[in-house]
Amino acid sequence: MGAGAFPGRRLGGYGAAVLHGKRHSRRRPGCGSGACRARTATDAGAAAARAGRLDAPAQAQERGSMTDDRDTAAATHSYAGPPAPWRLHGAAYVSLWRVPVRALPLPAVPGARFLSFAGRALCVTAWAEYDPSGTLAYREMLFAVAVRTAGLIAPACTVGPIWVDDETAAAGGRELWRIPKRVAAFGKGPAQAVHGDPGALFQASLNEQGRFVASLRFQDRQGLVMPIRVPLWTIQRGPEGPVRTRCLLQGRVRLGYARWRFEPEGPLAFLRERTPLLSVRVDSLSAQFGV
């Protein structure tokens, strides 16, 4: 996805986007009231460029439309952490799954539909470790479902259960992008030994309030390392409608073997008897959120 890829575009950058159930036309800066309002909000340094609300599916074209930035300030008024965009660096261990739609732990966001084939949705589990060179340093484990929505061609997903080991990261995810992050304890794995070491083993575990949630053992496979650059949107449920956030993921991907374990009565129990379609390790990961 290149610049200007979504109707929530604003002068001065991207954040979570807001649409109000009406089409916004393309205008040159300064020649229409919507553009003037967006430019004024940007010049004032408003937090409105970082988050927002949608109350209807996008009807505008994917490129070139703008929203009034004054409508996006509410989601960030109580948040004191780093503003969007976040730029995170580290590594991730990702598995791709097919899960029956009826077994998913979350409903589709209004205006979006799950990307499914023969009644099975395409889903992802990811275990990420972000280092201090980025906006924040923390660990994260998540489950997400691929979705489709009107006016958006790029890949998109809705994030479901997600845990981090940092309070600021949790608050930022909730306030900026309506991603339901919650704080948990992550068991240490030999992450430093894995990086750059083909065949090395990564293992880690996750506990919430003293209760086991999930664990991962990852083994590299011999083979090519492929560079990736993936533009991505998250589409989350907000208090006044869907919230869309533009992201960009870059790194080097290597295939591997992942063995996941999940608590039988936990939030990811529906994955216990299933096997991932494929698993990869992403090294030199650069993850940008709210761009």
Q: Which CATH number is 273's domain given?
A: 2.40.400.10
Does residue 69 belong to any structural domain of this protein?
A: no
Res. 215: pLDDT tops 80? yes
- Residue 101's pLDDT is what? 98
pLDDT at res. 222 = 85
Cβ(213)–Cβ(207) below 8 Å: yes
What is the domain range of residue 99?
86-191+199-289
Q: Do 176 and 50 meet the contact criterion of CB atoms below 8 Å apart? A: yes
Let me know if residue 3 belongs to a domain. Answer: no
Q: Answer whether residue 137 shows pLDDT above 80.
A: yes
pLDDT of 15 reads 53
Burial of 133 (0-12, 13-18, 19+ CB in 10 A): exposed
Query: E-assigned strands of the chain?
Result: 16-17, 86-100, 112-114, 116-117, 120-130, 138-149, 152-164, 181-183, 185-187, 201-208, 211-220, 226-238, 241-262, 278-289
* 5 within 8 A of 40, measured Cβ to Cβ: no
- pLDDT per position as a tens digit, 76-125: 457 899 999 999 999 999 999 999 999 999 999 999 999 999 999 999 99
The strand pair at 181-183 and 120-130 is best described as: unpaired
Number of domains in the chain: 1
Specify if 77 maps to a domain. no
Assign 177 to helix, strand or coil. helix
What mean pLDDT do residues 243-266 have? 97
Residues 286, 251 contacting (CB under 8 angstroms): yes
* Least confident piece of the model among 37-41, 163-167, 276-280: 37-41
Residue range 249-259: mean pLDDT, rounded: 97
pLDDT score for 223: 86
Cα–Cα distance, 90 to 96 (Å, whole number): 20
Percent share of the chain, pLDDT over 70? 69
Tell me the backbone φ, ψ of residue 223, rounded to 5 degrees: 155, -175
pLDDT digits 0-9 by tens, 152-199: 999 999 999 999 999 999 999 999 999 999 999 999 754 444 455 556
Q: Would 65 be classed as within a structural domain?
A: no
